[in-house]
């Protein structure tokens, strides 16, 4: 075991939050920052091609953590995938960019996350975004993250918007603007026809310009090193098998995501005391909420077959290679955020359901695909169900035990059921007549619909909430400053700190959480320095 005193701050996990945080903290030239990532450091060309995003969820950069068998899925195991390698989920996701409803942030603050309200968080997007619409009350210009509409508009995109209007949903010119509910063409992290991840926006410019930022890849953090009640570094294992301690004079920020962050905390003796004892781990800090309150967005795909006239594009790769245009230049096309039909409608009703258009097969030059041409995806973004992440073993290389308990609350099933009905109805709407054919008829009654949901239930891959912000140590893990309760020099800053999952895709909010975390950690370090 070797020791390397190499940092003031160690950031664990180079996903969406970690890349942002490391880049921001390293803006202080007097602060030595080390960012550590389990996965690879290269970014293959396939990752950069937007339309290939639909294939990346089963590739080498996808970290699959199968759930325990889910009652709501007919006893099936549901694959829950997160990203690994530089950029984490931002390097394999759909690139959809949807800010949270401001009411989400105000709900966080009301639940004890003081300083995490909309008044504080929404202005952060002015410095995050480089939006093609320019700066406005909800957008920024010149920031690290490029936000753009579809570079290539698929022939089915506008018909799906019209089909949504037939459902009575309003059309929004910008779901990140004043009207946060309705249907819209999707906004994405795409620049010049290429995926624009947090690696591109934040990390690479920082690495190229700063000697005080070190990035280690292929390196697993096995536990946080603690001296008494202070974090002083991390123990790591390189992919070659070598081990060492990396000491951090100021502290450690864990940004490993909602599945791996609680695992690391528990391996370090921080978590539910009884559960740690089961695995022979000495308890440093009994925090029952570590790994609890797991939330996710369960989803159902309603498949369709489209006519050749709207699905064939034989020169897709050639057009992309020549001009970064054509269907390979775009993945997300249409998105909708609406209340559930059982909750009523109106401008003050926050979204509960998200819909998205998934297109597969030869239309985008992807490898041959047997089956439906696409699907209209529906997900529940306001779940009441809560699950857990637990250790399977004290071995840091073991998988975690993930139990989201999807649809365990009756209201969740009821709302997803109605969203699935709406998805079936859309595929037989006048706007799509002659363009698409549903692969399956709409189930005749609730029992048949529930059987369809049980057989097809999946996820949008948005785990959150397992190290939530709060003031009660029985129900939260970090305080509003993101400091782990009862410990010095240890922070958490990723989707796990969300007190309640956002009612939209979480990527934009995770970047905002990391931006806010950089402010808070820097302020905390300044307080320590002043005290010294």
Quickly list H helices, 69-133.
102-110, 118-121, 125-128
Whole-angstrom Cα distance, residue 128 to residue 201? 9
- Distance separating alpha carbons of residues 73 and 37, to the nearest angstrom: 33
Whole-angstrom Cα distance, residue 509 to residue 27? 21
Please name the residue ranges forming H helices in 137-180. 157-166
What's the full length of the chain, in residues? Answer: 532
204 burial (CB, 10 Å; 0-12 / 13-18 / 19+) is middle
Residue from 154, 196, 462, 485 carrying the catalytic annotation: 462
Residues 69, 491: Cα–Cα separation, whole Å? 32
CB-CB contact of 179 with 172 (8 Å): yes
Q: Has 462 been annotated as catalytic?
A: yes
Calpha distance 88→29 (Å, rounded): 26
3-state secondary structure 438-451: ECCCCCCCHHHHHH
Compute and round to an integer the Cα radius of gyration of the chain: 22
Residue 193's alpha-carbon distances to 8, 105, 149, 355, 363, in angstroms, are 38, 32, 11, 23, 17
Of residues 18, 183, 152, the one with CA closest to residue 89:
18
DSSP 447-509: HHHHHHHHHH-EE-S--B-TT-B-S-TTT-SB-TT-BBTT-BSEEE-SGGG-SS--SS-SHHH
- Taking the C-alpha atoms of residue 301 and residue 297, their distance in angstroms, rounded to an integer, is 13
Tell me, what DSSP letter sits at residue 326? S
SS (H, E, C) 221-277: EEEEEEECCEEEEEEEEECCCCEEEEEEEEEEEECCHHHHHHHHHHHCCEECHHHHH
DSSP state of 67: B
Cβ atoms within 10 A of the Cβ of 346, count?
Answer: 8
CA distances from 527 to 30, 493, 523, 524 (A): 15, 19, 6, 5
Residue 147: φ, ψ to 5°: -125, 125
Active site positions, annotated: 462
């Amino acid at each position: 075991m070797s020791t390397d005193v190499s940092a003031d701050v160690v950031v664990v996990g180079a996903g969406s939050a970690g890349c942002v945080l490391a880049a921001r903290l390293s803006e202080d030239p007097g602060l030595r920052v080390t960012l550590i990532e389990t996965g690879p450091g290269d970014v293959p060309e396939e990752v950069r091609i937007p339309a290939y995003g639909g294939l990346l969820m089963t590739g080498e950069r996808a970290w699959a953590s199968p759930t325990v068998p889910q009652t709501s899925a007919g006893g099936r195991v549901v694959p829950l995938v997160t990203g690994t390698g530089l950029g984490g989920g931002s390097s394999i996701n759909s690139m959809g960019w949807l800010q949270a409803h401001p009411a989400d942030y105000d709900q966080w603050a009301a639940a004890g996350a003081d300083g995490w309200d909309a008044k504080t968080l929404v202005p952060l997007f002015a410095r995050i975004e480089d939006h093609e619409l320019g700066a406005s009350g909800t957008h920024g210009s010149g920031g690290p993250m490029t936000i753009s509409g579809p570079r290539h508009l698929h022939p089915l995109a506008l018909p799906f918007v019209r089909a949504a209007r037939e459902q009575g949903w309003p059309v929004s010119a910008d779901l990140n603007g004043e009207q946060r509910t309705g249907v819209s063409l999707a906004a994405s992290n795409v620049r010049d026809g290429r995926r624009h991840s947090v690696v591109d926006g934040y990390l690479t410019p920082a690495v190229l310009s700063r000697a005080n930022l070190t990035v280690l890849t292929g390196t697993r953090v096995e536990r946080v090193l603690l001296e008494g009640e202070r974090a002083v570094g991390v123990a790591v294992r390189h992919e070659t098998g070598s081990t060492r301690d990396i000491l951090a004079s100021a502290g450690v920020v864990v940004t490993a995501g909602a599945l791996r962050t609680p695992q690391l905390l528990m391996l370090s003796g921080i978590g539910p005391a009884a559960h740690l004892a089961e695995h022979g781990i000495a308890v440093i800090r009994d925090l029952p909420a570590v790994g609890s309150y797991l939330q996710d967005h369960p989803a159902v795909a309603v498949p369709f077959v489209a006519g050749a006239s709207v699905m064939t594009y034989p020169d897709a790769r050639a057009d992309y290679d020549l001009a970064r245009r054509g269907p390979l230049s775009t993945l997300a096309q249409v998105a909708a955020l609406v209340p559930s039909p059982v909750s009523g409608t109106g401008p003050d009703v926050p979204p509960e359901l998200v819909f998205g258009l998934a297109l597969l097969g030869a239309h985008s030059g992807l490898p041959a695909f047997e089956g439906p041409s696409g699907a209209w995806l529906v997900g529940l973004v306001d779940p009441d169900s809560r699950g857990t992440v637990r250790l399977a073993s004290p071995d840091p290389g073991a998988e975690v035990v993930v139990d989201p308990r999807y649809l365990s609350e009756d209201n969740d099933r009821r709302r997803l059921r109605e969203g699935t009905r709406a998805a079936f109805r859309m595929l037989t709407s006048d706007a799509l007549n002659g363009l698409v054919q549903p692969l399956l008829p709409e189930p005749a009654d609730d029992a048949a619909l529930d059987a369809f949901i049980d057989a097809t239930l999946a996820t949008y891959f948005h785990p959150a909430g397992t190290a939530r912000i709060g003031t009660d140590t029985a129900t939260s893990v970090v305080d509003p400053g993101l400091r782990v309760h009862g410990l010095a020099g240890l922070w958490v800053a990723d989707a796990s700190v969300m007190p309640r999952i956002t009612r939209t895709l979480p990527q934009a909010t995770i970047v905002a959480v990391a931006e806010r975390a950089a402010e808070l950690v820097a302020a905390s370090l300044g307080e320590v320095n002043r005290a010294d």
